[in-house]
Amino acid sequence: MADEKIINMNDLKNKNIEWRKYTRLGITIVAFFVLVGFVLSNLFIVKEGEYKVIRQFGEVVKIIDQPGLNYKIPFIQTVSTLPKYQKVFDVEKAEINTKDKKRIMIDNYAIWRISDPKMMISNLRSVENAEAKMGEFIFSVVRTELGQLNYDEIIDEENSSRGSLNETVTAKVNEFLKRDNYGVTVIDIRMKRTDLPAENEESVYKRMISERESKAQEYLSMGDAEKNRTIAKTDREVKELLAKAQADAEQIRAEGEQIAAQTYNSAFSQDPEFYNLYRTLESYKRTIDGETVIILPNNSPYAKLLMGYTQ
């Protein structure tokens, strides 16, 4: 029994060596994955259409604008993204007063981009702050420009005096942004719509209706004038055509009567006695009817013919 309880020290030593070997292998694998994860967590990709801003202790130390794979210093540097492409900023609606002290609601939008990322980060910190600052400038400039116009000049696009308002506002807002080194540039500013306060809508609608009715009456008057000119021209042309046709008819009739007279003369000259008889018969047609009373001498040739005497 004493022999069975004897511990083999060599076997125990071998087991301890094998356990330490697997432990070291596990630690190595874990350390490898931790190192890989640590490295990967500090790699970043710069895409098309974006800036990568690298800060070190809160200060901008580098701005990367070319696409590709990059690396930051662990624990010391941080990376943020800014848009490189153009953005659309929908400016909040605002109410302004016109030159004649009337209120009007304006709604604008701006197309802008970051032209200097470092300056933009230093002075504005974020895209939201940049848009807020642009909104202040846009409202100020639009209020100043439209405040120089009367209410009717703003709403009447055909006779407006506001000119190239969008270009003017864009240029002045860019002046303010450049003056304060904000690192952003406005590409274009447009007025989407102009709303009227409720108390002004009815008067504007009435004015619009009056203007449209006036324009319609103007078109009707122009149409009537054109119609009268057309009718007068047509009547004149008809009279000219009728006069020419009448003249042509008279000429043709005269030529026909001349030809007929020549034909009669030629025919009657060949037999005078027949001509006398024809003239006598024609006179009968004109003078004798159911109520005719003729008094003639008995020896009158005409009476003899009527009575049937040939001698």
> Average pLDDT for consecutive 10-residue bins of the chain (311 residues)?
50 63 73 63 78 82 81 79 90 84 85 91 89 93 86 64 75 93 92 70 74 88 90 91 90 87 77 73 70 72 66 55
CATH 3.30.479.30-classified regions of the chain: 87-196
Question: What's the number of CA atoms in the CB half-sphere (13 Å) around residue 85?
Answer: 5
60 vs 144: CA distance, rounded Å: 37
304 vs 246: CA distance, rounded Å: 47
As given in the structure block, the two tokens for residue 210 are 């009056």
pLDDT at position 139: 92
- Match 């200097």 to its residue by tokens: 116
- Match 């009728």 to its residue by tokens: 242
112 vs 133: CA distance, rounded Å: 12
The answer to whether the CB of 55 falls within 8 A of the CB of 63 is: no
Question: What's the number of CA atoms in the CB half-sphere (13 Å) around residue 47?
Answer: 7
As to burial, measured by CB atoms within 10 angstroms (0-12 exposed, 13-18 middle, 19+ buried), residue 4 is exposed
Q: Is 162 helix (H, G, I), strand (E, B) or coil?
A: coil
The answer to whether the CB of 218 falls within 8 A of the CB of 140 is: no
251 vs 11: CA distance, rounded Å: 154
Residue 157: DSSP 8-state: S
Distances (CA, A) of 231 to 178, 220, 226, 227, 244: 67, 16, 9, 6, 20
User: What class, spelled out in words, does domain 87-196 have in CATH?
Assistant: alpha beta
118 vs 183: CA distance, rounded Å: 7
